[in-house]
């Protein structure tokens, strides 16, 4: 090995050591001394994606069971006014979406747009979340089908749901030529008070086809207490009643045990 070669190797070695100290030192300090978090942009601490899964509040959608919009329906309540409802299914018991924009579109029998409205909804953990839209102005048109779509990507979080603690009983239906009514007893079977509850009722015919929907609310239901809820329509149902869903809607909350 010539003197020039040895000098070149020594020079390159010196440059390598310099950059290793100047650049590698701070990087090593960062990775070895700063504890991992759910906001460090690194897949670590058991995360299944960058800052998702593991102990983090945000969940990796790839880890979840399939979820989505089951169906959407619209109903003419009276001339010029319609209601609509859609069911979102989420089988994941500890995963929720805290807020997502949606768009409800209604069409007539010729596929012409009748109404287009937007709103915000949450998706509760472990069950069906109905999305209700009422008193929709449809003019002289008759909507025959509806479509619901989300206006943004779903952001899933580890969450606690409260609607499972609400039990429905004593469901009754009354009808006349000019009105229909559904009543039920709702009970908070949990150990905590539940506030700001929305109840969505959907009426089905014996074949399982939705024929009507309505919504009501309770400001508060104390732990162990019961109350009555009422749903009314300005006409008789369009078909024989086969079954009725009454689903309580309660905003889920982030799991306090998750790493924020």
pLDDT band at 31 (very low <50, low <70, confident <90, very high): low
Give the residue from 47, 56, 147, 160 showing the smallest Cα distance to 105.
147
d(CA 84, CA 10): 78
Could you tell me if 212 and 180 are in contact, meaning their C-beta atoms sit under 8 angstroms apart?
yes
pLDDT at 129: 98
Least confident of 37-46, 88-97, 181-190, 207-216: 37-46
- For the chain, percent of residues with pLDDT exceeding 70: 87
The stretch 102-123 carries a mean pLDDT of: 97
Give the residue from 110, 170, 120 showing the smallest Cα distance to 145.
110
Least confident of 14-18, 40-44, 84-88: 14-18
The stretch 100-109 carries a mean pLDDT of: 97
pLDDT above 60: residue 27: no
pLDDT at 34: 72
pLDDT at 159: 97
Classify each residue of 63-92 as buried b or exposed e, where b means 16 or more C-beta atoms within 10 Å of its C-beta: ebeebebeebbbbbbeeeebbbbbbbebeb
Give the residue from 150, 113, 153, 105 showing the smallest Cα distance to 129.
150
pLDDT at 35: 84
pLDDT above 50: residue 9: yes
The stretch 227-250 carries a mean pLDDT of: 96
pLDDT at 6: 57
Indicate the average pLDDT of the chain: 90
Could you tell me if 186 and 194 are in contact, meaning their C-beta atoms sit under 8 angstroms apart?
no
d(CA 212, CA 202): 6
- Per residue in 134-193, pLDDT tens? 999 999 999 999 999 999 999 999 999 999 999 999 999 999 988 999 999 999 999 999
pLDDT band at 20 (very low <50, low <70, confident <90, very high): very low
pLDDT at 32: 55
In degrees and rounded to multiples of 5, residue 8 shows phi and psi of: -65, -40
């Amino acid at each position: 090995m010539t003197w020039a070669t040895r000098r070149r190797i020594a020079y390159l070695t010196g440059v390598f050591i310099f950059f290793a100290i100047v650049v590698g030192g701070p990087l090593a300090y960062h990775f070895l001394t700063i504890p991992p978090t759910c906001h460090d942009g690194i897949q670590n601490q058991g995360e299944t994606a960058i800052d998702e899964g593991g102990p983090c509040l945000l969940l990796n959608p790839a880890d979840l069971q399939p979820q989505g919009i089951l169906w959407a329906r619209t109903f003419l309540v009276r001339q010029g006014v319609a209601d609509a409802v859609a069911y979102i299914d989420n089988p994941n018991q500890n995963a929720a979406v805290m807020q997502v924009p949606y768009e409800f579109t209604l069409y007539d029998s010729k596929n012409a747009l009748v109404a287009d409205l937007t709103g915000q909804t949450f998706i509760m953990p472990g069950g069906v979340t109905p999305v209700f839209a009422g008193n929709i102005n449809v003019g002289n048109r008759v909507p025959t089908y509806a479509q619901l779509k989300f206006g943004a990507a779903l952001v899933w979080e580890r969450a606690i749901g409260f609607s499972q603690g609400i039990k429905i009983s004593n469901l009754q239906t009354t009808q006349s030529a000019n009105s229909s009514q559904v009543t039920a007893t709702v009970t908070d079977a949990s150990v905590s008070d539940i506030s700001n509850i929305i109840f969505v009722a959907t009426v089905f015919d014996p074949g399982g086809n939705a024929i009507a929907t309505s919504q009501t609310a309770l400001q508060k239901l104390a732990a162990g207490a019961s109350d009555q809820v009422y749903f009314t329509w300005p006409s008789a149902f369009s078909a024989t009643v086969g079954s009725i869903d009454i689903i309580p809607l309660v905003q889920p909350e982030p799991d306090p045990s998750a790493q924020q």
